[in-house]
């Protein structure tokens, strides 16, 4: 299983799309934080909120780009049968590819700690930051990206086309992130607005971004991840039915 994880990481980091994805993520978040109007230097106070507002939208495209080749490429080249005959269960194969995708997201996210260090030094007085809020936001962002990765792995298992897998993953991730919020805005739903919003990722991510690590939010993210990983395993098993 470890060998498969390392193979996935090497394959992504050794590809052009891997380097482009990481660079684009860092470039966009850096521009929104330091260059574009409303940047940190313009607003005049040390706050990483712009990063945690921008990052989910970038991850909405970055994570599917990371996961789109996971199973699609294996199906296109015909190596999926060889992979599934290895002494690993379908669930272990899914978990290996999922863990590799999450680690790749972490690799992309780690350089943003430089922004935190920069704000720490620029704050007046030095270090005058909402550390709890920032830590909570990073945890929330990691959970959000992990959900997107589970969705992307599932989408990749559905087709042998990387483009189709990418588009399906983007659509499903967007719907789960904001779709329920949009549905809840219909006035006819009345008292159901709150419960419907809680089905979506954004409500739980926003809660964590305030620095509040609620067990209900953690369980929600774990449940979403588990559901899509189990759906992926079921999709792989269906090939042998």
Domain with 60, as residue range(s), is 2-240
Query: Please, how many CA atoms are within 13 Å of residue 140, restricted to the half-sphere of its CB?
Result: 29
Instruction: Give dist(CA 176, CA 190) in Å, integer.
Output: 21
For the chain, the helix, strand and coil percentages under 3-state DSSP, each to the nearest 5:
80, 0, 20
Query: Please, how many CA atoms are within 13 Å of residue 200, restricted to the half-sphere of its CB?
Result: 21
Residue ranges of E strands in the chain: none
Residues 6+ apart with CB under 8 A from 46: 40, 119, 120, 122, 123, 128, 129
User: pTM to 2 decimals?
Assistant: 0.89
Count of domains forming the chain: 1
Q: Is the bond into 125 cis (omega within 30 degrees of 0)? A: yes
Instruction: Give dist(CA 202, CA 189) in Å, integer.
Output: 19
What is the token pair recorded at 184?
Answer: 């809840």
CA angle 209, 210, 211 (to 5 degrees): 90
Instruction: Give dist(CA 129, CA 123) in Å, integer.
Output: 7
CB 173 within 8 A of CB 154: no
- How many other C-beta atoms can be found within 10 angstroms of the C-beta atom of residue 164? 15
Instruction: Give dist(CA 105, CA 63) in Å, integer.
Output: 7
The residue assigned the tokens 């972490």 is: 106
pLDDT tens series, the chain, 241 aa: 777 788 777 777 777 777 787 888 888 888 877 777 766 666 666 677 778 888 899 899 989 988 988 888 777 777 776 776 677 788 888 998 999 999 988 988 888 888 888 877 776 677 667 777 788 889 999 999 999 999 999 999 998 899 999 999 999 999 999 887 877 776 655 666 667 788 889 888 888 877 778 889 999 999 999 999 999 999 888 765 4
């Amino acid at each position: 299983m470890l060998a498969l994880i390392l193979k996935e990481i090497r394959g992504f980091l050794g590809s052009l799309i891997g380097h482009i994805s990481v660079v684009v993520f860092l470039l966009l978040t850096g521009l929104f934080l330091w260059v574009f109007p409303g940047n940190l230097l313009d607003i005049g106070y040390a706050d990483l909120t712009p990063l945690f507002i921008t990052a989910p939208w970038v991850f909405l495209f970055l994570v599917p780009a990371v996961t789109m080749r996971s199973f699609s490429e294996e199906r296109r080249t015909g190596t999926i049968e060889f992979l599934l005959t290895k002494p690993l269960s379908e669930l272990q194969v899914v978990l290996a590819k999922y863990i590799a995708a999450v680690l790749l997201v972490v690799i992309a996210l780690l350089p943003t700690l430089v922004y935190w260090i920069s704000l720490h030094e620029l704050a007046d007085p030095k270090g005058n930051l909402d550390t709890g809020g920032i830590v909570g936001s990073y945890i929330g962002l990691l959970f959000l990206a992990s959900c997107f990765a589970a969705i992307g792995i599932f989408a990749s298992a559905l087709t042998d086309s990387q483009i189709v897998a990418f588009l399906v993953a983007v659509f499903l991730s967007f719907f789960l992130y904001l779709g329920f919020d949009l549905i809840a805005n219909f006035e006819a739903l009345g008292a159901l607005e709150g419960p419907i919003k809680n089905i979506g990722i954004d409500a739980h991510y926003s809660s964590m971004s305030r620095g509040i690590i609620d067990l209900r939010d953690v369980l929600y993210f774990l449940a979403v991840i588990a559901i899509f990983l189990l759906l992926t395993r079921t999709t792989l098993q269906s090939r042998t039915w």
